[in-house]
Amino acid sequence: MGEHYTTEKNILKLIGPLFLDELRQRFDDSQNESAKLRALLKHLSELRFLDSAAGCGNFLVIAYRELRQLNLDILLRLQELQSLGQGGKRADTSFDRTMFFDETDLAVRMEHFFGIELEEWPARIAATALHLTDHQANQAMEQALGRGPATLPLTRNDSIHVGNALRTDWETITGPTKHLYIMGNPPFIGQYGKTPEQTEDMKLVWGKNYDGYLDYVTAWFAKAVQLFDKPEMGGEFAFVSTNSITQGQPVPALFRYIFSHGWRLKFAHRTFSWSSEAPGAASVHCVITGYYKSNRRTSEETLYYYDNSKSEPRPEPVKQQINAYLIDGANVLVDKRMSHLSASTQTLQRGSQPTDGSRELRRVGKAGLIVEADDYDAVAADPIAAKYLRRYVMGEELINNLDRWCLWLVDFDPTDLNKSAILRDRLEAVRDFRLSSQKAATKRDAATPHLFQENHQPTVQYLGIPRVFSERRRWATCALLSPDIIAGDKVYVCEDTDGLGFALISSSAFMAWQKAVGGRLKSDPSFSNTIVWNNLPIPELTDEQRAAIIAGGQAVLDARAELTKRAIAAGRKPPSLADLYNPLAMAPELLKAHAQLDRAVDAVFGLKVVSTGSTTEADEQRLAALFSSYERLTAAEQLPLPKPKRPRRA
DSSP string, 72-83: HHHHHHHHHHHH
In 175-215, the DSSP E strands lie at: 180-183
Residues making up the chain, counted from first to last? 650
Contacts 24+ apart (CB under 8 A), 124-127: 124/160, 125/56, 125/57, 126/54, 126/55, 126/56, 126/57, 126/60, 126/61, 126/160, 127/57, 127/157, 127/159, 127/160
User: Strand, helix or coil at 190?
Assistant: coil
Contacts 24+ apart (CB under 8 A), 276-280: 276/4, 276/5, 276/6, 276/7, 277/5, 277/7, 278/5
The C-alpha atoms of residue 176 and residue 591 are separated, in whole angstroms, by 59
Amino acid at 142: E
In 118-234, the DSSP E strands lie at: 160-162, 180-183
pTM of the model: 0.86
- Count helices and strands (H / E) in the chain: 21, 19
Parallel/antiparallel/unpaired status of strands 491-495 and 349-350: antiparallel
The answer, yes or no, to whether residue 87 has pLDDT greater than 90, is no
Residue 300: predicted pLDDT: 83
Whether omega for the bond prior to residue 153 falls within 30 degrees of 0, making it cis, is: yes
Lowest mean pLDDT among 83-97, 131-145, 208-222, 636-650: 83-97
User: Strand, helix or coil at 239?
Assistant: strand
Residue 98: predicted pLDDT: 47
Q: Render pLDDT for 55-80 as a digit per residue (tens, 0 to 9).
A: 999 999 999 999 999 999 999 999 89
Residue 118: predicted pLDDT: 93
φ, ψ for residue 613, nearest 5 deg: -60, -35
- Those residues whose C-beta lies under 8 Å from the C-beta of residue 169, and which sit 6 or more positions away, are none
Please give, one letter per residue, the 3-state secondary structure of 325-391.
Answer: CCCECCCCCCCCCCCCCCCCCCCCEECEECCCCHHHHHHCCCCCCEECHHHHHHHHHCHHHHCCEEE
Residue 154: predicted pLDDT: 61
Q: Render pLDDT for 312-351 as a digit per residue (tens, 0 to 9).
A: 999 999 999 999 999 999 999 999 999 999 999 999 999 9
Residue 608: predicted pLDDT: 83
Residue 521: predicted pLDDT: 77
- Those residues whose C-beta lies under 8 Å from the C-beta of residue 52, and which sit 6 or more positions away, are 115, 116, 165, 170, 182, 184, 186, 220, 223, 224
The kind and range of the H/E element at 481 are strand 479-481
**Mean pLDDT of all residues in the chain?**
90
The C-alpha atoms of residue 26 and residue 39 are separated, in whole angstroms, by 10
Asked if 220 and 214 count as a contact pair (C-beta separation under 8 A), the reply is no
Residue 95: predicted pLDDT: 40
Asked if 163 and 31 count as a contact pair (C-beta separation under 8 A), the reply is no
Residue range 186-201: mean pLDDT, rounded: 87
Asked if 164 and 123 count as a contact pair (C-beta separation under 8 A), the reply is no
Strand partners, 242: 286
Lowest mean pLDDT among 188-192, 286-290, 347-351: 188-192
Over pLDDT 90: what percentage of the chain?
77
CB-count burial class (<10 Å; 0-12, 13-18, 19+) for 612: exposed
Residue 339: predicted pLDDT: 92
Higher pLDDT, 316 or 84: 316
Residue 1: predicted pLDDT: 54
Residue 638: predicted pLDDT: 64
The answer, yes or no, to whether residue 239 has pLDDT greater than 70, is yes
The answer, yes or no, to whether residue 155 has pLDDT greater than 70, is no
Residue range 241-260: mean pLDDT, rounded: 93
φ, ψ for residue 264, nearest 5 deg: -135, 160
Higher pLDDT, 142 or 553: 553
Residue range 481-509: mean pLDDT, rounded: 97
Residue 641: predicted pLDDT: 58
